[in-house]
């Protein structure tokens, strides 16, 4: 699998390059800013872009904006965002853009096998969300305040919320069953209940599509304002 790395810290960029090569990935470019990422994706058309959220010059959201620009320039490019912290707006904005997306905290890189599996899953069109990202997205409950009608999550049992969190991380029903020490049929029943209570279609084709549907429902936020152009006006 061909990968472009975008990370402004030289030592971390070199470390990611070495790690990915050891795990059998082909790193076709390793760059340090957003415009270079967009140019590399356009020229090399990698299977996956691994991108830091904060890059020069302001170290705020350049990485995410460049990743979105790269996906617009070369549709279908899978993107995994690396971040030091959970930044809900960026996670939600990325998830809105379709399949083949991931948002991982940098601590996840220390678990090499999980990290490799996450990259492969995203490159195949799936999702990979750090559990902390999922926890914050699911924790933004639209209901529960004084005088506010209950939100969709209030309809779920505690076990159903656990299943939903694992679904949102990109896990299959089999992996969820192993994590919760329950049977596969029990997970299927919980998933059916979740889709029913959240009024989501249960017949979506592909596991990652149902995950994106759930996250789009639970993590819905106002559309972000247009950001400054990246690399000659492409956003």
In 10 A of CB 174, how many CB atoms?
10
Q: How far apart are CA 225 and CA 150, in angstroms?
A: 28
Q: Where are the domains of the chain?
A: 2-129, 140-218
Q: Fold match between 2-129 and 140-218?
A: no
Task: Name which of 166, 138, 170, 167 is nearest 151 in CA terms.
Answer: 138
Can you tell me the distance from the alpha carbon of 12 to that of 163, in angstroms, rounded to the nearest whole number?
A: 34
| Average pLDDT of every residue of the chain | 81
Q: Name every residue whose Cβ is closer than 8 Å to that of residue 204 and which is 6 or more positions away in sequence.
A: 210, 213
Tell the CATH topology of 2-129. Answer: Rossmann fold (3.40.50)
pLDDT over 70 for what percent of the chain? 78
Is 102 within 8 Å of 109 (Cβ atoms)? no
For the ranges 38-42, 158-162, 168-172, 190-194, the lowest mean pLDDT is seen at 168-172
Average pLDDT over residues 35-58: 95
Predicted pLDDT at 114 = 86
Q: Say which residue, 25 or 208, is predicted with more confidence.
A: 25
Instruction: Write the DSSP string, 91-108.
Output: HHHHHTT-SSEEEEEGGG
Which residue, chain included where needed, has tokens 């960029």? 13
Average pLDDT over residues 155-172: 86
CATH assignment, 140-218: 1.10.10.10
């Amino acid at each position: 699998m061909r990968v472009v790395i975008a990370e402004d810290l030289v030592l971390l960029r070199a470390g990611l390059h070495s790690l990915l090569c050891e795990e059998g990935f082909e790193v076709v470019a390793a760059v340090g800013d957003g415009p270079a990422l967009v140019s590399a994706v356009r020229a090399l058309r990698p299977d996956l872009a691994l991108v830091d959220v904060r890059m020069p010059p302001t170290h705020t959201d350049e990485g995410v904006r460049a990743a979105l620009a790269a996906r617009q320039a070369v549709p279908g490019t899978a993107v995994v965002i690396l971040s030091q912290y959970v930044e809900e707006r960026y996670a939600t904005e990325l998830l809105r853009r379709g399949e083949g997306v991931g948002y991982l905290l940098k601590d996840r890189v220390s678990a090499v096998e999980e990290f490799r599996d996450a990259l492969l899953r995203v490159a195949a069109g799936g999702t990979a969300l750090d559990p902390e990202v999922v926890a914050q997205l699911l924790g933004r409950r639209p209901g529960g305040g004084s005088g506010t009608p209950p939100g969709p999550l209030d309809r779920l049992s505690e076990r159903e919320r656990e299943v939903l969190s694992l679904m949102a991380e990109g896990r299959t029903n089999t992996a969820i069953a192993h994590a919760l020490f329950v049977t596969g049929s029990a997970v299927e029943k919980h998933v059916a209940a979740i889709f029913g209570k959240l009024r989501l279609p249960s017949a979506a084709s592909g596991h990652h599509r149902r995950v994106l549907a759930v996250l789009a429902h639970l993590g819905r936020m106002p559309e972000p304002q247009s950001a400054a152009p990246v690399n000659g006006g492409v956003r």
